[in-house]
């Protein structure tokens, strides 16, 4: 761990200085399930998150944008991003037309003053939607001004082999998307490395789903730091590059035996994000071993 200052008045040495990027840390409303969207706002405020990501359809309130707006105002917790209802369990939320659902997600983001919509690539049975997906996402982004960040997914593995569940594909790396969401658990499930993806995507990386996994065929969404994705190292890499997107905690807390355990996991995850979203700075006035000042 980095050294801490012994007192508030200590003068830090050059190797102790850190910078913290403009990225804000948010709580996905799905992280408190089976508790409610209302609980997510309350916990985000009490634990000190910078905002929430609304998972549309996780409960009935989450699909009522006016109700969510009231929760936002009551708790004083901003909505930073909206996750479109594109999960298998939310296929009927806001109708069955995927383009209409994505457009409505952008409209919800505008109403809630969020600047990002997260969407998964189409399922392979959504052939018409998938056919023009890359171009359609770009057109809708230009029309609405809302960043539509396509999320990395993973292959579905069965006893008979790998199932191609997504079109044009589960890995957005080689596809012509302008803005992307990196989900650490999905990277683990697909036997990828989040740091490699972050480096490969460069400026296209706009949004983070902070979680973890152990390489299981199940999408685990573990507390960050409890899996194989070196989540802290990825956050430090982003901090070094002044990442200004959102870092959203998206864990599976359904197995928490008590409310206290869920809160503890959410608090630990926030502390993890704050700790690692910092990078050492070598200031211009720093002096190297030979006594010569060196610049950044």
Q: Is the pLDDT of residue 199 over 70?
A: yes
Give the pLDDT band (50/70/90) at residue 284.
low
Specify burial of residue 202 (Cβ count, 10 A radius: 0-12, 13-18, 19+): exposed
What is the per-residue pLDDT across 149-161, written as a single tens digit (0 to 9) for each?
Answer: 999 999 998 766 7
Give the pLDDT band (50/70/90) at residue 19.
confident
Question: Would you state the pLDDT for residue 157?
Answer: 80
Residue 123 and residue 167 in contact, taking contact as beta carbons nearer than 8 Å: yes
- What mean pLDDT value characterizes the chain? 90
Q: Is the pLDDT of residue 288 over 90?
A: no
Region 14-24: mean pLDDT is 79
What is the per-residue pLDDT across 59-94, written as a single tens digit (0 to 9) for each?
Answer: 999 999 999 999 999 999 999 999 999 998 898 999
Residue 143 and residue 162 in contact, taking contact as beta carbons nearer than 8 Å: no
User: How many helices and strands (H and E) does the chain possess?
Assistant: 9, 12
Question: Would you state the pLDDT for residue 280?
Answer: 82
Percent of the chain with pLDDT over 70: 89
Q: Is the pLDDT of residue 271 over 70?
A: yes
Region 86-111: mean pLDDT is 95
Domains of the chain in start order, with CATH, are: 19-280 (3.20.20.150)
Determine the distance from the C-alpha atom of residue 13 to the mean position of all C-alpha atoms in its chain, rounded to a whole number. 34
Q: How far is the C-alpha of 152 from the C-alpha of 173, rounded, in Å? A: 8
| Distances from the Cα of 193 to the Cα of 173, 184, 204, angstroms | 13, 8, 17
Q: How far is the C-alpha of 62 from the C-alpha of 221, rounded, in Å? A: 20
Q: How far is the C-alpha of 44 from the C-alpha of 272, rounded, in Å? A: 15
Question: Would you state the pLDDT for residue 143?
Answer: 98
Specify burial of residue 181 (Cβ count, 10 A radius: 0-12, 13-18, 19+): buried
| pTM for this entry | 0.89
């Amino acid at each position: 761990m980095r050294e801490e200052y012994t007192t508030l008045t200590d003068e830090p040495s050059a190797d102790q200085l850190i910078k913290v990027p403009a990225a804000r840390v948010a709580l996905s409303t799905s992280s408190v399930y089976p508790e409610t969207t209302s609980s997510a706002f309350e916990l985000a405020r009490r634990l000190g998150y910078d905002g929430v990501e609304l998972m549309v359809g996780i409960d009935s309130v989450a699909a009522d944008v006016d109700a969510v707006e009231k929760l936002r105002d009551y708790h004083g917790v901003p909505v930073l991003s909206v996750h479109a209802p594109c999960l298998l369990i939310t296929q009927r939320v806001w109708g069955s037309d995927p383009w209409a659902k994505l457009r409505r997600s952008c409209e919800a983001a505008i109403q809630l003053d969020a600047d990002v919509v997260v969407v998964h690539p189409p399922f392979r049975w959504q052939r018409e939607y998938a056919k023009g997906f890359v171009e359609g996402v770009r057109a809708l982004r230009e029309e609405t001004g809302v960043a539509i960040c396509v999320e990395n997914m993973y292959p579905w593995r069965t006893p008979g082999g790998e199932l191609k569940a997504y079109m044009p594909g589960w890995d957005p790396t080689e596809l012509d998307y302008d803005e992307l969401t990196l989900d650490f658990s999905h990277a683990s499930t697909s036997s990828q490395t989040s740091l490699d993806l972050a480096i490969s995507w460069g400026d296209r990386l706009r949004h983070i789903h902070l979680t973890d996994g152990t390489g299981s065929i199940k999408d685990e969404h573990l507390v960050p730091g409890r899996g194989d994705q070196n989540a802290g190292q990825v956050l430090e890499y982003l901090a070094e590059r002044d990442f200004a997107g959102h870092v959203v905690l998206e864990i599976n807390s359904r197995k928490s035996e008590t409310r206290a355990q869920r809160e503890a996991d959410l608090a630990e995850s926030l502390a993890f994000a704050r700790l690692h979203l910092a990078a050492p700075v070598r200031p211009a006035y720093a002096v190297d071993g030979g006594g010569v000042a060196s610049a950044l």
